[in-house]
């Protein structure tokens, strides 16, 4: 019945998007993104109790390994060039940068397809990725679809087309869970969860492609191999630093948790972690993603033209996100002991302990998320990658060492979550320091010009 009441409201959300998208203020842009994200996530959240009764914790654990692996590969799907799109000022450069991202995506997807086809299952098992064996051929498909989506979202972010991005969030929230439910009814198992995930994550790709590729023939006429080579040279630091930095970032986040806990303890533990992420992080991501898209769009311009505005926005977004996150996490932790068994079934009751442990990391991760592009837009890729290497080493050690010491999974999770929280605090300090240095440098340059 909840779905019956929800679906007629989707048209209402769409009307709100059309009304809000005329507002070009920061708050108005965030509101546009938030409406679309809430509409999409509302459907996904309401369908979660259905999914947890159709699939087991182990199957969700397998999905979490697949999702973490796909997310890891997607960070280098276009070699990191898409990170530069929001800071690209000239239209002709943006068009050729988008084409460069497309070429890079085709090459990485082809390579992933060859590896998936010829890689023996024994190698996957050796690297603790044996759960990927039944659906490894879906990795290239997921990589192409999701990689294309991220490229086009970067283009839409640069254009300030937040209403269009918001509509893709609605599409994602409906198509993914519905496909997974159909797969569960048919008894497809883990591959069905994976297919639904791909459908949901990339369902907005067609909409963005029509708007920003087919809908802009003047861009297509400006694309040439000479100009593609020129923008590749201009933004070469992004694949050299930012792309690999994001790879390390994902490896130290979802991949480390999913793969290491599934390997060291059990896939069911990874399933409990997956559910905790859906219960606590998904609602918070609705707000943080809305802030991220708008912050990145504004920061791309402010970094070179008005760093004082970038500092002001950074100091505005971080406390706001902290207040929202702390409130929700407190509510989730207090209600989890009775809400999780009631909503998701008795077999998921053990997830409560994992949710409590992960909340330590969730708070700082979600505070960091809206401003996570700061070092990239400031072109401080070396600083970012140094932090990501250190973080990856610390997170892996915080999981493996407690496991080797014979500590239970929940204890290992508390240690790794606390380590992650400390790393996030360090990164926030690095971002604030980088912004301040840019502000000081601009003032010095202005003083020299006046003098």
pLDDT at 392: 85
Q: Residues 82-97: what's their mean pLDDT? A: 81
**Is residue 3 over pLDDT 60?**
no
Tokens found for residue 370: 């809206």
377 vs 12: which has the higher pLDDT: 377
Residue 441 lies in a domain: yes
pLDDT at position 42: 67
- The structure tokens listed for 379 are 């072109």
Residue 190 lies in a domain: yes
Evaluate whether residue 64 is within a structural domain: yes
Question: Do both 331 and 394 map to the same domain?
Answer: yes
Highest mean pLDDT among 183-197, 343-357, 437-451: 343-357
**pLDDT category of residue 9 using cuts at 50, 70 and 90:** very low
181 pLDDT more than 80: yes
Q: pLDDT averaged over the chain?
A: 79
Domain identity same for 342 and 219? no
Alpha carbon 327 to chain centroid, angstroms? 22
Could you give the CA distance from residue 229 to residue 241 in angstroms, rounded to a whole number?
18
Residue 209 and residue 358 in one domain = no
Predicted confidence at residue 11, as pLDDT, reads 44
Torsion of CA 61, 66, 68, 72, to 10 degrees: 170
Q: Is the pLDDT of residue 411 over 90?
A: yes
How confident is the model at residue 25, as a pLDDT?
A: 59
Q: Are residues 176 and 296 in the same domain?
A: no
- Tokens coding 78: 């276009």
Domain boundary among 200, 235, 270: 235
Residue 435 falls within a domain, yes or no?
yes
Q: What is the pLDDT of residue 18?
A: 44
Q: At 16, is the pLDDT very low, low, confident or very high (cuts 50, 70, 90)?
A: very low
Say whether 151 sits in a helix, a strand or coil: helix
**What percentage of the chain reaches a pLDDT higher than 70?**
80
Q: Let me know if residue 173 belongs to a domain.
A: yes
In this predicted model, what pLDDT tens digit does every residue of 260-271 receive, in sequence order? 787 788 888 888
Average pLDDT over residues 187-201: 81
Total domains in the chain come to: 2
Band of pLDDT at residue 129, cut at 50, 70 and 90:
low
* Two structure tokens written together for 319: 């406390």
| Residue 78 to residues 87, 148, 257, 440, Cα–Cα distance (Å) | 16, 9, 25, 34
Asked whether residue 8 carries a pLDDT value surpassing 50, the answer given is no
Distance CA 205, CA 152 (A): 7
Residue 442 CA from chain centroid, whole number: 32
Q: Looking at the structure, tell me whether residues 222 and 283 fall in a common domain.
A: no
- Tell whether 221 and 340 lie within a shared domain: no
Mean pLDDT of 157-174: 77
The answer, yes or no, to whether residue 192 has pLDDT greater than 60, is yes
228 and 291 belong to one structural domain: no
Whether the pLDDT of residue 204 is over 60: the answer is yes
User: Looking at the predicted structure, is the pLDDT value of residue 33 above 80?
Assistant: no
In which band, very low, low, confident or very high, does the pLDDT at 272 lie, cut at 50, 70 and 90?
confident
From 89-93, 335-339, 402-406, the region with the lowest mean pLDDT: 89-93
Kindly list the distances between the CA atom of residue 351 and the CA atoms of 173, 280, 337, in Å, as whole numbers in the listed order: 23, 12, 9
Whether residue 118 sits in one domain with residue 151: yes
Domain check: are 264 and 351 in the same one? yes
Contact status, residue 339 vs residue 280, Cβ threshold 8 Å: no
Same domain membership, residue 377 and residue 444: yes
The answer to the question of residue 39 being in a domain is: yes
Which of the four pLDDT bands, split at 50, 70 and 90, describes residue 17? very low
Residues 387 and 446 in one domain: yes
Which are the contacts of 40, defined by CB distance < 8 A and separation ≥ 6? 169, 170, 171, 172, 173, 174
Q: How far apart are CA 312 and CA 310, in angstroms?
A: 5
Question: Is residue 230 included in any domain, yes or no?
Answer: yes
Domain range spanning residue 400? 256-451
* pLDDT higher than threshold 50 for residue 86: yes
pLDDT at 32: 63
Range scoring the smallest mean pLDDT among 73-77, 157-161, 335-339, 350-354: 157-161
The pLDDT of residue 122 is above 80: no
Give the model confidence (pLDDT) of 50-60 as tens digits.
Answer: 888 888 887 87
In a domain, 247, yes or no: no
Whether the CB-CB separation of 332 and 298 falls below 8 Å is answered with: no
Contact between 100 and 231 under an 8 Å Cβ cutoff? The reply is yes
Tell me, yes or no, whether 143 and 290 share the same domain. Answer: no
């Amino acid at each position: 019945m909840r779905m019956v009441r929800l679906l007629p409201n989707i048209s209402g959300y769409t009307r709100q998007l059309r009304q809000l998208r005329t507002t070009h203020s920061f708050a108005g842009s965030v509101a546009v993104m938030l409406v679309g994200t809430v509409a999409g996530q509302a459907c996904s959240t309401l369908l979660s109790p259905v999914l947890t009764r159709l699939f087991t914790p182990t199957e969700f654990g397998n999905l979490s390994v697949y999702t973490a692996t796909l997310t890891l590969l997607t960070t280098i799907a276009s070699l990191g060039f898409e990170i530069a799109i929001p800071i690209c000022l000239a239209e002709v450069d943006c068009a050729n940068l988008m084409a460069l991202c497309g070429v890079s995506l085709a090459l990485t997807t082809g390579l992933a397809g060859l590896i998936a086809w010829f890689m023996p299952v024994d190698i996957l098992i050796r690297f603790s990725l044996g759960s990927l064996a039944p659906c490894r051929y879906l990795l290239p498909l997921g990589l192409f679809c999701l990689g294309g989506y991220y490229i086009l979202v970067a283009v839409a972010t640069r254009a300030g087309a937040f209403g269009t991005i918001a509509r893709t969030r609605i599409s994602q929230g409906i198509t993914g869970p519905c496909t997974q439910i159909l797969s569960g009814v048919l008894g497809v198992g883990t591959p069905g969860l994976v297919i639904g995930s791909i459908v949901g994550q990339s369902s907005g790709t067609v909409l963005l492609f029509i708007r920003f590729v087919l809908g802009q023939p003047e861009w297509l006429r400006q694309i040439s191999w000479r100009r593609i080579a020129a923008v590749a040279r201009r933004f070469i630091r992004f694949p050299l630093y930012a792309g690999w930095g994001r790879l390390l970032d994902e490896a130290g986040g979802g991949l480390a948790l999913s793969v290491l806990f599934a390997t060291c303890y059990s896939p069911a533990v990874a399933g409990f972690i997956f559910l905790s992420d859906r219960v606590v992080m998904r609602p918070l991501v609705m707000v943080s993603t809305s802030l991220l898209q708008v912050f990145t769009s504004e920061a791309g311009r402010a970094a070179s033209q008005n760093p004082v505005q970038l500092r002001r926005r950074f100091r505005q977004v971080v406390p706001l996100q902290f207040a929202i996150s702390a409130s929700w996490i407190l509510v989730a932790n207090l209600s989890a002991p009775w809400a999780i068994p009631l909503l998701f079934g008795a077999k998921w009751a053990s997830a409560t302990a994992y949710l409590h442990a992960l909340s330590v990391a969730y708070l700082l991760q979600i505070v960091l998320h809206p401003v996570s592009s700061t070092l990239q837009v400031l072109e401080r890729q070396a600083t970012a990658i140094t932090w990501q290497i250190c973080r990856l080493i610390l997170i892996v050690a915080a999981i493996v060492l407690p496991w080797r010491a014979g500590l239970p999974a929940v204890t290992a999770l508390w240690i790794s979550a606390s380590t992650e929280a400390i790393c996030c605090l360090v990164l926030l300090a690095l971002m604030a320091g980088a912004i301040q240095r840019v502000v000081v440098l601009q003032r010095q340059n202005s003083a020299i010009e006046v003098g």
